[in-house]
Amino acid sequence: MKNNQENKLSMYLGVQNKCNDNKDIWSNMPGFVDTFGRFENLVSKINKQQEIQKGKITGITKSKQKEEDEMIQATVKTASAVHVFASIIGDDELMSKVNYSPSYLMRLRDTDLRAVCQTIHDAAQSVIDHLADYGKTPEDLDKLQQEINDFSEMIAEPRSAIGTRATATRKLEELFSEADILLRDQLDMLMVNYKSSHPRFYNMYRSARMIVDMGKRSRSEEESELDD
């Protein structure tokens, strides 16, 4: 959230608190009740989008790295078994399908890594009946396939998280605009009704409508409408 948005949200919360503290004054005015209800709804939406925007993708990235490491380890073990078998029977083509070092796999881009791991799995699957003597069973290949599937699901998650945060940033701009208009054109105007009848409430509202920024207290553009 931008600094000016943080400042505005603090102002919104101040307005919300002062109005709620004096609810007995305006609760019998349907127009005020409806307008303030819509304002509180906007504040709630802003808070929700702020939570989304601040969401960190570190956890997702770590989970993806864990899935990648586990998949590479399982793939290397499978490739080693196939490599030995292919060498013994003199099948150079089969050997070439699994001839990848761990360091090479770790340098691959996500989609390329997934494809290579799948190729090694499929090569092992084609000779699985001969791999028991080299430490590989059908169950091992099932586990490797699950590792590949899990990694495939994780590939898009960090980007999706970034996309969600970008959407929240755009949504915040819209929500702040809506809230500013509602305050300026509706709630501020309704408050004029209480300038004489409930001056304490009116003045508290005006004070809450000021935006505080880095220790300086200045009137918001919207609050100036109350001076008319």
The mean pLDDT of the chain is: 87
174 and 207, same domain (yes or no)? yes
Confidence grade of residue 55 (pLDDT, cut at 50, 70, 90)? low
Residue length of the chain: 228
Task: Report the domain count for the chain.
Answer: 2
Residue after which a domain boundary falls, among 124, 156, 188: 156
Q: What burial letters (b/e) apply to 136-158, b meaning 16+ CB within 10 Å? A: beeebbeebbebbebbbebbeeb
65 and 29, same domain (yes or no)? no
Confidence grade of residue 212 (pLDDT, cut at 50, 70, 90)? low
62 and 148, same domain (yes or no)? yes
Express each pLDDT in 146-158 by its tens digit: 999 888 877 766 5
82 and 141, same domain (yes or no)? yes
Confidence grade of residue 223 (pLDDT, cut at 50, 70, 90)? very low
85 and 163, same domain (yes or no)? no
| Residue 22 lies in domain | 3-56+159-227
100/12 Cα distance (integer angstroms): 59
Express each pLDDT in 19-36 by its tens digit: 999 999 999 999 999 999
Confidence grade of residue 213 (pLDDT, cut at 50, 70, 90)? low
CB 75 within 8 A of CB 120: yes
Residue after which a domain boundary falls, among 156, 172, 206: 156
Residue type, 108: L
Express each pLDDT in 81-119 by its tens digit: 999 999 999 999 999 999 999 999 999 999 999 999 999
152 and 69, same domain (yes or no)? yes
Specify the pLDDT at position 135.
92
> Does the structure show a pLDDT above 60 at 58?
no
Express each pLDDT in 159-181 by its tens digit: 656 567 788 888 899 999 999 99
52 and 64, same domain (yes or no)? no
